[in-house]
Amino acid sequence: MSNDPGGPPGGGTWRDREGGVAEKTRKKEARPPRFKVVLYNDDYTPMAFVVELLESVFRKSPVESNALMLRIHRAGSGIAGVYTLEVAETKVATVHRQAEERGFPLRSGVEEE
């Protein structure tokens, strides 16, 4: 039940329509900004480890992970996924932690979409 006895239930505003029927208008909510997680190529991190990360952290299929790893290797970087800022930052931290645990210098970062 609305606190405003003159307004529609759940808030918003009423708008009269032809024929005497009232419609409720809703405000569109803005989507949160999205951010790309970028993996950067280096000369020391094994390709198999990058594929493993793409499968476990970014939930890519083995075929997709291998193709993306090759794209990163050839182009110098590649987009592992697009997320809200908090999720993207968590994925980057996970990549860095797992790479450091294995002794690899793999770097990743967040860029606005």
Domains and CATH numbers, the chain: 34-112 (3.30.1390.10)
Q: What is the mean pLDDT of residues 64-80?
A: 98
**Mean predicted lDDT score pLDDT of the chain:** 88
Whether this model's pTM surpasses 0.85: no
DSSP 45-109: S-HHHHHHHHHHTS---HHHHHHHHHHHHHHSEEEEEEEEHHHHHHHHHHHHHHHHHHT---EEE
Q: What is the mean pLDDT of residues 80-95?
A: 98
